[in-house]
């Protein structure tokens, strides 16, 4: 069986997405994930925090992943939520041009899912600051998506996001679901949230799209792997999307 190698660009202070991604892929013996880090420690709208997402360090991490001959490179992060989706489009184009490997991102994959399933009224759960959350909501509104309810924790230290408890995430999701969104997203790849999707979906009656999951979902699709083989991580992987 031919190996499938997924490259993941990872914030340096993130401790959630690597174990979660590997756990998702545990039932796919031919698929493995490989991670390249670049420095991200703070999420805010301050200039130094925004500068963490300059293209040069991300490209260097992508070049190192290319040495592993990965089949796809995913930016497993949500920065274009507040920077604007064009930032992810430009990043993918630049990586593909420089290293010759197809590229995707967590956020663009999430947007694709919501577009293709016509679930554009969504609920938003994040750990982010008030102004970052407002920027995300405004960015989505500009592109025809309506955030009908949101919950956030007003935090900025990226490492701390991984310490948000399941109980907090479940409570925030329940609050957001009261507004009857068509879907809900746990929007931060350093939240330990993806494994909560099946139980939340059963309780709330709506799809739950975690941004670690969306990166894996899109990466597998780009490599021709049947996402239905990923069991126990929510309805995303069973979606029939052309």
Residues whose CB falls within 8 Å of the CB of residue 164, separated by 6 or more in sequence, listed in order: 127, 153, 191, 192
Which two tokens mark 5? Answer: 């190698």
In the prediction, which pLDDT does 240 show? 79
CATH 2.40.50.140 fits 109-209, yes or no: no
Query: Given phi > 0 = left and psi -120 to 50 = alpha, else beta, which region is 18?
Result: alpha
Which two tokens mark 136? Answer: 């995300």
Alpha helix (H) residue ranges in 28-129: 47-50, 55-66, 80-83, 85-99, 106-116
The residues that bridge with 185 in the sheet, in sequence order, are: 124, 209
Dihedral, 139, 141, 147, 151 alpha carbons, nearest 10: 30
The residue-averaged pLDDT of 42-63 equals 96
Q: Give me the CATH code for the 4-107+212-231 domain, please.
A: 3.40.50.12500
Is the model's pLDDT at 30 over the cut of 90? yes
pLDDT digit string, tens, across residues 179-194: 999 999 999 999 999 9
Strands (E), the chain: 4-11, 31-38, 72-75, 103-105, 121-125, 146-151, 183-186, 208-210
CA atoms 155, 152, 16, 63: torsion sign: negative
Domain-by-domain residue ranges, the chain? 4-107+212-231, 109-209
**109-209 matches 4-107+212-231 in CATH topology:** yes
Q: If 0-12 CB within 10 Å is exposed, 13-18 middle and 19+ buried, where does residue 228 land? A: exposed
**What span, in angstroms and rounded, lies between the C-alpha atoms of 225 and 169?**
30
pLDDT digit string, tens, across residues 98-148: 999 999 999 999 999 999 999 999 999 999 999 999 999 999 999 999 999
The owner of tokens 């790849």 is 189
Q: Is the pTM of this model over 0.75?
A: yes
């Amino acid at each position: 069986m031919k190996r499938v190698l997924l490259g993941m660009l990872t914030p340096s202070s993130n401790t959630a997405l690597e174990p979660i991604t590997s756990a998702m892929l545990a039932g796919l013996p031919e698929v493995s994930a490989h991670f390249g880090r670049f420095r991200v420690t703070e999420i805010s709208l301050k200039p130094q925090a925004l500068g963490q997402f300059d293209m040069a360090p991300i490209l260097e991490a992508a070049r190192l992943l290319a040495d592993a001959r990965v089949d796809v490179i995913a930016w497993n992060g949500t920065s274009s939520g507040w920077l604007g989706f064009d930032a992810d489009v430009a990043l993918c184009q630049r990586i593909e041009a420089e290293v010759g490997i197809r590229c995707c991102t967590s956020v663009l994959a999430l947007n694709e899912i919501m577009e293709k399933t016509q679930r554009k009224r969504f609920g938003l759960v994040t750990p982010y600051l008030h102004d970052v959350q407002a920027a995300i909501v405004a960015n989505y509104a500009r592109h025809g998506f309506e955030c009908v309810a949101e919950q956030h924790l007003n935090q900025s230290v990226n490492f701390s996001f991984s310490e948000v408890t399941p109980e907090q995430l479940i409570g925030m999701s329940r609050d957001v679901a009261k507004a009857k969104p068509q879907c809900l997203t746990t929007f931060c790849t350093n939240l330990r949230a993806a494994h909560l999707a099946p139980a939340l979906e059963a309780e709330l009656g709506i799809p739950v799209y975690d941004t670690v999951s969306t990166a894996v979902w899109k990466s597998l699709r780009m490599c021709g792997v049947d996402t239905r083989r990923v069991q126990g991580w929510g309805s995303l992987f069973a979606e029939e999307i052309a």
